[in-house]
């Protein structure tokens, strides 16, 4: 597959003991959900993809993104975005300054400002740039965290239980926005979760590990 995210025969062991094996392809705009009980290695797989695997683990296999083998690339060169359940905004910075962290450094200030305004507009938060994050609702914070990550222009999106701290109504709303924005950019999405509703809502292939 020339485009998308490909996991070629990935196996991860810890202390010589097999933890997981995965071989999957995720096309642009598609979602793959990996489910499984706690400790099965879901977050460890995402760490392998982002290049941040702890030294206790040994991995074999390859990760390809948009036709390039990124298995041994430096983490910042992989162009993979990740959202966690604890994606906190920097509390001492405005919403706009938080979003600016997603942008490449060194751009023209006026262009950066326009990109931040466009990002806010995209998630229905126009005019929020000067707000203090402490004044935002949980759903608003989640939308800012999403856009901060998307402003870094990733080629694939990884989701590590990103909705689990939100209550049911908000969860569905934020979830829809994340999948929608990823589809609009034709990003391949890999989500790991315990939650059957999240898996169902993703609408793609569901793989269950262990258990």
In the complex, the residues that contact ligand ATP under the rule CB under 6 A are 14, 36, 38-44, 54, 56, 194
Q: Please, which residue, 52 or 104, has the CB nearer to ligand ATP?
A: 52
- Dihedral sign computed on CA atoms, order 163, 202, 208, 27: negative
Shortest spacing between CB 129 and ligand ATP, in angstroms: 34
Residue 22's beta-bridge partner residues? 10
Shortest spacing between CB 47 and ligand ATP, in angstroms: 7
119 to each of 91, 145, 190, how far by Cα in Å? 19, 11, 22
Q: Please, which residue, 52 or 111, has the CB nearer to ligand ATP?
A: 52
User: Which residues, 6 or more positions from 159, have their beta carbon under 8 angstroms from its beta carbon?
Assistant: 82, 83, 178, 189, 190, 191, 192, 193
Shortest spacing between CB 175 and ligand ATP, in angstroms: 18
Shortest spacing between CB 71 and ligand ATP, in angstroms: 18
Q: Please, which residue, 44 or 50, has the CB nearer to ligand ATP?
A: 44
Q: Please, which residue, 48 or 128, has the CB nearer to ligand ATP?
A: 48
């Amino acid at each position: 597959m020339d485009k998308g995210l490909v996991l070629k025969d990935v196996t991860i062991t810890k202390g010589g003991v097999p933890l997981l094996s995965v071989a999957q392809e995720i096309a642009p705009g598609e979602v793959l959900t990996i489910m499984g009980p706690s400790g099965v290695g879901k977050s460890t797989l995402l760490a392998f993809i982002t290049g941040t695997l702890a030294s206790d683990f040994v991995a074999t296999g390859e990760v390809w993104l948009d036709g390039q083998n990124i298995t041994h690339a430096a983490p910042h060169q992989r162009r993979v975005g990740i959202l966690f359940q604890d994606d906190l905004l920097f509390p001492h910075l405005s919403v706009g300054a938080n979003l600016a962290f997603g942008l490449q450094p060194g751009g023209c200030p006026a262009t950066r400002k326009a990109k931040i305004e466009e990002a806010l507009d995209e998630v229905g938060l126009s005019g929020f740039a000067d707000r203090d994050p402490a004044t935002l609702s949980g759903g608003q914070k989640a939308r800012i965290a999403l856009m901060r990550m998307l402003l870094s222009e990733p080629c694939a999106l990884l989701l590590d239980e990103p909705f689990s701290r939100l209550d049911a109504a908000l969860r569905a709303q934020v979830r829809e926005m994340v999948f929608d924005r990823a589809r609009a950019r034709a990003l391949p999405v890999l989500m790991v979760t315990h939650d059957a509703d999240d898996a169902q809502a993703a609408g793609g292939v569901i793989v269950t590990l262990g258990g």
